[in-house]
Every structure is written in C-alpha cells, then in structure tokens.
Amino acid sequence: MDMFWLRKKAASTTEYGLFVGLIALGLLTTLTSTGDQIGSVFDRVFQSLSEIGDTEELPPTLPDQPESCNNNNVSTATAATLNSWSGYSRTPTDWCNETALNLSYDDMITYLPPEVGQLSNLTQINFYQNNITSVPKEIGYLDKVFLFNIYENALTSLPPEIGLMSELLVLRVTNNQLSSLPKSIAQLPKLYNIEAQYNQITALPEEFGTISQLRELHLNNNRLTQLPASLVNLSNLEVLDISNNPDLVLTAEQCAFGQTLDTFTHTGVACP
C-alpha cells in the first residue's frame, strides 16, 4: 500500500491518522492493494467522517456553571465586567437579582460577555438595535428566559447552546446577517414564536418540523431555496410568512399545508 499516496490524499494529518488506524485495526484486510479500491474506500470513510464532524449535537451540553446566584450574589469580578460592558453601576447583588436585561438602541454594544450566563434569574433579554456580532455559548445557562430580543444587530450565527434555554417562548432575531438557524432550536419545548425575517437564511434544519408548540414562523425577506419537508408536521402553526424569498421552491404538500393556516403569506413565492 502506498502510504505516501494516502498521506497526499488525506485533507489533514488527523484524517491520515484515522485512516492508518483503521488499517492497523485490521478493518481493511479484505482489500487488495490496488489504488482504485483503496481510493474508493478512502473516499467513503472520509465522507462518513465528514458527516459525523458536521453533525450538531442535539441537545448541546455545557459544563456546570462555575458561578451562580445561589448565594444572591455574583462575584465582584463578574459585576465589574458587566458594569464595564453595560455602562451600569450595579452591585453583585443587583446583578444577581436582575430579571430583565434591557440594553437597546446603543450601537456601542458589539458583543455579549460570557458573564451574562451567570445571571440565572433573568427572564427577559432585550438587546435590539445594537451592533452585536455574536452570542456566547454561555447563553445556554439562562434556562428561565422566556423572551430573547436581539433583532437589528449584526449577528452571523447563533450558538447551538440556545437550545438549552428551556423556557424560551419568543425568539426575535429579525434584521441580522444570519445564514442559518441552529438545529438545537428544535429542542425548545415551549417555543411558539420565531421572528427571523430580513436575514440571509438559505435553509432550515429538517428538525424544525418537531417544534411542537410553534405558532408563528416569520421568514420573509431571506434567501431560502427550500423548506424542510417536516414543516407540514407543525400541527399548532397558525402564521407562516415566507414572502420575498425569490429562489424558494415549495412543494404541493407545503402549499396545501399553508392554505390550512390562519395566515399564510407567500408574496413572490409561487405554489405549484
């Protein structure tokens, strides 16, 4: 077997090591040494590895929170970080007791610090009309939040850990730069409203059809090319807006499903 050929074909040292490991385990002993046969199996193996690598964990996990509000305080260092970030002047107890975090209409805010995840009593987050580019994974610690407003920012992605916000009812990410939504959103048991219009979303995960409590789904003015087949399984959906997605192609089943809803808006998107 030409090991130089294998090393050259591998996209990375890790891939090469994995493939050699398979050989060492005797998993390829039935192969002959012809390059075509080896190459074919090599391609199949790394296609599978690639698929595994692209699989988003459902649901995601986070380590135990290093600090919490169990003692009615966050640390002095955490309070100082949050004060510097927000422009507020609050004590550790004040931050711990905060239930609604409102920092909107301020273009100076460009990020969320991981320390926000320590505010375990939060139930509402309003960060709309800022210039925030990312959300930290620690947002997943906030399992009491039912309202997450972060529209009109500069987000390009949402972390999978958003799927741990088990009390979330309303997710508003309108007018950002999102190209996708994480699969883990499908794990939110109470989510009933998604507002994701005016982004750059090209497709939705197939898992979206399992958001059992979803009532409203706003996806107008994106770059959708298709909807997941599972969308027709949203038995509680009442409002669907997919207008102004010029490349979107609907199936007959999806159009028939849309016609059963209270509001089905598809301006610029034809039904077959």
* Residue 17 CB contacts under 8 Å (≥ 6 apart), including other chains: none
Q: What is the pLDDT of residue 72?
A: 78
Q: What is the pLDDT of residue 68?
A: 66
The pair of structure tokens assigned to 233 is 């399984």
Q: 59: closest CA among 113, 140, 114?
A: 140
The sign one gets for the Cα dihedral 231, 233, 234, 238 is positive
- Per-residue pLDDT band at 37 (split at 50, 70, 90): low
Cα radius of gyration rounded to whole Å, the chain: 23
CB 125 within 8 A of CB 147: yes
Kindly report the pTM of this predicted structure: 0.78
Q: What is the pLDDT of residue 60?
A: 67
Range 155-162 average pLDDT: 96
Higher pLDDT, 199 or 47: 199
Sheet holding 263-265, edge to edge: 100-102, 124-126, 147-149, 170-172, 193-195, 216-218, 239-241, 263-265
- Per-residue pLDDT band at 25 (split at 50, 70, 90): very low
Give the SS3 label for residue 234: coil
Q: What is the pLDDT of residue 104?
A: 83
Q: What is the pLDDT of residue 241?
A: 98
The answer to whether residue 14 scores a pLDDT higher than 90 is no
Q: What is the pLDDT of residue 69?
A: 73
**C-alpha angle 117/119/122, rounded to 5°?**
110
The pair of structure tokens assigned to 115 is 């320390």
**C-alpha angle 245/127/169, rounded to 5°?**
70
CA distance between the termini of the chain:
54
Range 55-83 average pLDDT: 75
CA–CA separation, 261 and 272 (whole Å): 18
CB 220 within 8 A of CB 242: yes
Range 63-74 average pLDDT: 70
| E strands, 222-262, in order | 239-241
Q: What is the pLDDT of residue 89?
A: 94
CA–CA separation, 76 and 84 (whole Å): 12
The answer to whether residue 3 scores a pLDDT higher than 50 is no
The pair of structure tokens assigned to 250 is 């609907």
CA–CA separation, 18 and 103 (whole Å): 48
The 10s digit of each residue's pLDDT in 103-138 is 887 667 999 999 999 999 999 999 989 999 999 999
